[in-house]
Amino acid sequence: MKSLSQESGLLAQNGIGLDLGVIGETFRNEPELLAELVVIFTDQLPVQLDRLGAALANGDVVALRRAAHQFIGSCVVFGASECVVLGRQVEACPDGAHEQMRGTVARLSVCAWRLLEVLRSYVGLEAPGATGPLSTERGHFA
Partner 1 sequence: MKVLIADDDQVVSRLLSARMSKAGHDVLVAQDAMQAVMLAMNHLPDLLILDIHMPAGNGSEVIRRLKASSRTNQIPILVVSGSGDLEEQRAMISAGAVGYMAKQTSLQHLEKMVAALLQLSGRTVAPRPTRPWGNLAPLAPARGRS
Nearest distance in Å: CB 137, partner 1: 18
- Quick count: other Cβ atoms within 10 Å of Cβ 114? 18
Q: Are 80 and 86 in contact (CB under 8 A)?
A: no
Q: Are 120 and 126 in contact (CB under 8 A)?
A: yes
d(CA 77, CA 121): 17
Q: Which is nearer to partner 1, 48 or 109 (CB)?
A: 48
User: Which candidate, 49, 36, 105, 109, places its Cα nearest to that of 77?
Assistant: 36
Q: Are 78 and 115 in contact (CB under 8 A)?
A: yes
Which one of 50-58, 75-83, 102-110, 126-134 is the stretch in contact with partner 1 (CB under 8 A)? 75-83
Query: Contacting partner 1 (CB under 8 A), which of 6, 8, 24, 30?
Result: 30
Q: Which is nearer to partner 1, 36 or 99 (CB)?
A: 36
| 54 touches partner 1 (CB under 8 A) | no
Q: Are 79 and 14 in contact (CB under 8 A)?
A: no
Q: Which is nearer to partner 1, 76 or 130 (CB)?
A: 76
| 2 touches partner 1 (CB under 8 A) | no
Give the binding site for partner 1 (CB under 8 A): 26, 30, 33, 36-37, 40-41, 43-44, 66, 69-70, 72-74, 76-78, 91
